[in-house]
Structure 1
């Protein structure tokens, strides 16, 4: 549905470092960058990208869910995000209220954003 999503952050350098570290286990890396008021594009395995730029006002917290190919990637995202300074908002695990194979982890990142990594696949036999 989306090609890219762009939102402002209160501390560009810190947010860029945080998102690059936290999303690396999901195959995300810096794809391009301009001046802080233009921002950075973080690209993953799919066509969509996440773009961050230096905001002049405090951003409103968002909920952003990132695709994980495996449950191990969800676990790695959670560990990397915590190591990058995120706060726990729900450890890796099944969330059967969404569907039987909804495996996700949640953290609160810079600016209070609720970040999630989710794998919809069943555990391999």
Structure 2
């Protein structure tokens, strides 16, 4: 059910150096850096084996005590339904349902802030 998760770090380069070494025995590596034009200047990078599943981020708009978790959706309709239900439950929009091709061509996700300000996402990786 967990698709990926992210933590906020105070020093991206120091954390990257740590995780580069710590993840190597697990067969994982830094696979992707999100272009800073999509992050507001924050450094955001994802580790994994086949695809990024553990993300590090830093930046002035990313409080250290707020985290990110993404849940796997089985369809784009589930992503849409998640977003609507989360907003109806009091969540705050952080990016409506839609394609995010800067991650990969079929990345369809929606983001909300929960009552504590955590960034919660539903994502479908299927082409439709």
Per the alignment, residue 118 of structure 2 pairs with: 113
Per the alignment, residue 97 of structure 2 pairs with: 92
SS at match of 1:110: coil
Aligned positions of 1:39-118 closer than 5 A: 60-118=65-123
SS at match of 1:73: helix
1:61 offset after TM fit, Å?
1.1
- Aligned-partner Cα distance in 2 for 1:65–1:77: 11
Q: CA offsets per residue over residues 7-55 of structure 1, 9 Å max, x none?
A: xxxxxxxxxxxxxxxxxxxxxxxxxxxxxxxxxxxxxxxxxxxxxxxxx
1:110 offset after TM fit, Å?
1.6
Give TM-score scaled by structure 2 length: 0.50
Residue correspondences, number? 67
Query: Unaligned regions of 5+ residues in structure 2, if any?
Result: 6-63
- Aligned-partner Cα distance in 2 for 1:101–1:114: 21
SS at match of 2:105: coil
Query: Unaligned regions of 5+ residues in structure 1, if any?
Result: 6-58
SS at match of 2:79: helix
